[in-house]
Amino acid sequence: MSTITPSRAPHSDVPTGHQPAGGRVGGGFFDPRQLLTSLPVALRKLDPRIMVKSPVMFVVLIGSVLTTGLSLADPGDWFGWAITVWLWLTVLFANLAEAVAEGRGKAQADTLRKAKTDTVARRITGTTEEQVPGTELRIGDLVVCEAGDIIPGDGDVVEGVASVDESAITGESAPVIRESGGDRSAVTGGTKVLSDRIVVKITTKPGETFIDRMIGLVEGASRQKTPNEIALNILLASLTVVFLLAVVTLKPFAVHAGADEQTSMIVLSALLVCLIPTTIGALLSAIGIAGMDRLVQRNVLAMSGRAVEAAGDVSTLLLDKTGTITLGNRQAAEFVPVRGGTAAELADAAQLSSLADETPEGRSIVVLAKEKYGLRERHQGELEEAEWIAFTAQTRMSGVDVDGRRIRKGATGSVVKWVEEQGGEIAADADRLTDEISKAGGTPLLVAVEDRGGARILGVIHLKDVVKEGMRDRFDELRRMGIKTVMITGDNPLTAKAIAEEAGVDDFLAEATPEDKMALIKREQAGGKLVAMTGDGTNDAPALAQADVGVAMNTGTSAAKEAGNMVDLDSNPTKLIEIVEIGKQLLITRGALTTFSIANDVAKYFAIIPAIFTAAYPGLDTLNVMRLHSPESAILAAVIFNALIIIALVPLALRGVRYRPTSADKMLRRNLGIYGFGGLIAPFIGIKLIDLIISAIPGIG
């Protein structure tokens, strides 16, 4: 465990989001309603201008057109028509997989569109207000919104505080507070003001609002191919060219061997389609779209597919302590009296001094005194003669003057100074007690009293950050995945070290400033690592922009949301761990199905090559391990299997391969074992069964 150095961790709200943006879209691939709505889209995707974006499936389309022409020239050739039909179905199934994946996003986008309304904005011009259409607003305009108004555009609250209904975006029915001057100032166009009055400074142009971007992203209109996806497409295209050249050269060899009849253009087209990696070529786009869809279902909006993919490759996670690793509110854990004092006297004074303290820490002191020392919970109203001393940033103390006693509670230095000013003596063990609590990761609050016996320190309240349940296990999982976790906190190094050890993180950044966060990210990236972090404040924006995966909280400022490449609509900082898992699941799914596809192609050799050349080269019959009925049934069975396996794998592509936290080596062995071996075996079984069915059909068998 090492310290990295100094700031202040921004405060993180953690509201609970339940329903994803736009509502969770149910129904899998085989949902009849989903298929019906996706089929017209799949047919429109047969446009060559669209198909050319997928080189593998474009070759299948050309093969389908070629065999159609040849079949029309010989209408009585049942084999040619059968091959033609199944080649067209192969293309259609590939388009259908992509259409279904896009359809799930479009359903969510339709719900979001309902949240968009043409609003009339009350724009401030000088000292007057004018009503203008929301579409005429420009960046920098100031608009007034009161209870019942729809916020006309994205912006930041620059004046006032209000309760806002954001259910149209987050799905969370509970209203949220938006106020000026903090990290909860950002408002979204289309949301509704429920109370009070705010002035909003517009930060986006019409048509480029958060909802507009959400609609474009979730329906797939703005999805760009990721670097890994582009690289895989290049590999698939290269393999396709190689197999195309190989199939083209088969014709002269067949003529020389006297097997010209077995190598018609229809047979060669079928051979090419079966040998090129059509399975992964058909599913590649659907895998990427489904990865973004899984994030949307968890109320996370990824601004690009690149961000989702980068999440899967992340090797360093920067996590806020408050609200992410700990519950966010310190709780009173113990009353520690100084030598000569009693815990009961300390608890009584601590409870009295906290009655007017409405913070979670203050409430926890009152409750601890009641539960642990049997003190009745008193209320402010019972102490009519009391004079309450409010906490201020200058004094760093609060307290009460009642019944001839003056009680103070607060930071160590402030309370010690107060006691000295009253002429009192400082207990010899006060410093030792506060140091011990700090080293243990707690926050010490001194309690002092001035009465007839003079001013003196009674003891220390131990406030403790409570680490969320199960966090150590989550960090152990991340460690097994090879991911380093770094806790970011504004605490002093002693407190930060104790919390880091209790939570089980690998490292921590204490007293962190925005510059420190940026320096840490750059240092990790210089070592070849990908970094992910969360943030919600304007001071987090530079680090969010620098991180490979920057997750901005929806409750945060516009600057933070613009800087990040993901937005968590629930504003739950722990979501970063789920995002990494979804990213890894995307990469694993793509890798697993690529392995399955290539293994599939190897197995299909044993079905088609012997069927074509056995007559010319009887020795090749030893490769006919499946003992297929005839050359025609073997080729047709392989083509049918090639089409059906796409349909069979679509649910897996949309759902994703199950992710288990483990090392890369174990993951590779597992995928090779399941999807590599499975890809080799499945064609043997599938093609043989289809061949048996074909051979049993009268007139064919």
Q: State how far the Cα of 536 lies from the Cα of 517, in Å rounded to an integer.
A: 14
Q: Do 100 and 224 lie in a common domain?
A: yes
Q: Do 286 and 419 lie in a common domain?
A: no
Cβ(489)–Cβ(462) below 8 Å? no
Question: 405: which strand partners?
Answer: 402
68 is in an annotated binding site: no
The number of beta carbons lying within 10 Å of the beta carbon of residue 698 is 5
396 is in an annotated binding site: yes
User: Nearest CA to 91 among 61, 62, 67?
Assistant: 61
Q: Which of 183, 320, 491, 568 is catalytic?
A: 320
Q: Which domain holds residue 272?
A: 32-105+219-295+581-696
Domain count, the chain: 4
State CA 312 to chain mean position distance. 10
436 is in an annotated binding site: no
- Strand 397-402's sheet: what is its strand order? 331-337, 454-464, 442-451, 405-410, 397-402, 387-389
Q: Do 539 and 593 lie in a common domain?
A: no
Which residues, 6 or more positions from 637, have their beta carbon under 8 angstroms from its beta carbon? 607, 628, 687, 688, 690, 691, 694
Domain annotation covers residue 3: no
626 is in an annotated binding site: no
Tokens linked to 503: 């939570």
Tokens linked to 244: 């195309």
Handedness of CA 232, 238, 242, 247 (dihedral sign): positive
User: Nearest CA to 207 among 222, 195, 197?
Assistant: 222
Q: State how far the Cα of 500 lies from the Cα of 326, in Å rounded to an integer.
A: 10
Our CA angle for 445, 447, 453, nearest 5°, is 160
Under DSSP, the state recorded for 424 is -
Q: Do 561 and 689 lie in a common domain?
A: no
Q: What is the pTM of this model?
A: 0.67
The number of beta carbons lying within 10 Å of the beta carbon of residue 378 is 15
392 is in an annotated binding site: yes
Whole-Å CA distances, 700 to 68, 77, 630, 689:
20, 11, 10, 15
Q: Do 227 and 95 lie in a common domain?
A: yes
CATH no. for residue 360?
3.40.1110.10
Task: Judge residue 44's burial from the number of C-beta atoms within 10 Å of its C-beta, 0-12 exposed, 13-18 middle, 19 or more buried.
Answer: exposed
DSSP assignment string, 46-114: TSHHHHTTSHHHHHHHHHHHHHHHHHHHSTT-HHHHHHHHHHHHHHHHHHHHHHHHHHHHHHHHHHHHH
357 is in an annotated binding site: yes
540 is in an annotated binding site: yes
Q: Do 374 and 395 lie in a common domain?
A: yes
Cβ(465)–Cβ(364) below 8 Å? no
Amino acid in the structure at residue 543: A
State CA 520 to chain mean position distance. 22
Q: State how far the Cα of 95 lies from the Cα of 229, in Å rounded to an integer.
A: 17
Under DSSP, the state recorded for 379 is -
Q: Do 354 and 454 lie in a common domain?
A: yes
Q: Do 459 and 335 lie in a common domain?
A: yes
Q: State how far the Cα of 338 lies from the Cα of 361, in Å rounded to an integer.
A: 21
Q: Do 523 and 622 lie in a common domain?
A: no
Q: State how far the Cα of 142 lies from the Cα of 200, in Å rounded to an integer.
A: 6
Q: Which of 205, 239, 260 finishes a domain? A: 205
pLDDT by 10-residue block (mean), the chain, 701 residues = 36 37 46 78 89 90 93 88 94 88 66 65 88 86 91 88 80 75 78 89 80 66 65 87 84 70 79 88 84 80 78 86 72 88 88 80 85 67 74 80 88 89 86 84 87 88 82 84 85 80 89 86 90 81 88 78 83 80 88 89 77 69 75 87 91 84 75 86 89 80 54
Domain annotation covers residue 110: no
67 is in an annotated binding site: no
Q: Which of 465, 488, 504 finishes a domain? A: 465
Question: H-type helices in 376-526, by residue range?
Answer: 412-421, 430-439, 471-480, 493-503, 514-526
Task: Judge residue 214's burial from the number of C-beta atoms within 10 Å of its C-beta, 0-12 exposed, 13-18 middle, 19 or more buried.
Answer: buried
Domain annotation covers residue 640: yes
379-395 as b/e: b if 16+ CB within 10 A: eeeebeebeebebeeeb
391 is in an annotated binding site: yes
Cα dihedral 30, 32, 37, 43 in deg (nearest 10): 60
Amino acid 168: pLDDT: 65
Domain annotation covers residue 493: yes
Q: CA-based Rg of the chain, rounded to a whole angstrom?
A: 34
Amino acid 418: pLDDT: 92
Domain annotation covers residue 16: no
User: Nearest CA to 390 among 358, 351, 347?
Assistant: 358
Amino acid 378: pLDDT: 59
Cβ(85)–Cβ(91) below 8 Å? no
487 is in an annotated binding site: no
Question: 250: which strand partners?
Answer: none
Domain annotation covers residue 657: yes
Q: Do 236 and 184 lie in a common domain?
A: no
Overall residue count recorded for the chain in this entry: 701
Domain annotation covers residue 487: yes
Under DSSP, the state recorded for 468 is P
Question: 566: which strand partners?
Answer: 302, 551
Tokens linked to 553: 């909280």
E strand or H helix at 279, and its extent? helix 278-297
Cβ(501)–Cβ(1) below 8 Å? yes
Question: 534: which strand partners?
Answer: 551
Q: Do 427 and 489 lie in a common domain?
A: no
Domain annotation covers residue 82: yes
Query: Look-up: residue for tokens 């968890």?
Result: 298
CATH no. for residue 191?
2.70.150.10
Active site residue 320: yes
CATH no. for residue 474?
3.40.50.1000
555 is in an annotated binding site: no
Tokens linked to 31: 């949902």
E strand or H helix at 124, and its extent? strand 120-125
Tokens linked to 696: 């049993």
Q: State how far the Cα of 610 lies from the Cα of 622, in Å rounded to an integer.
A: 8
Q: Do 262 and 312 lie in a common domain?
A: no
Tokens linked to 671: 């995928």
Q: Which of 532, 548, 569 finishes a domain? A: 569
Amino acid 382: pLDDT: 58
Tokens linked to 288: 């990427």
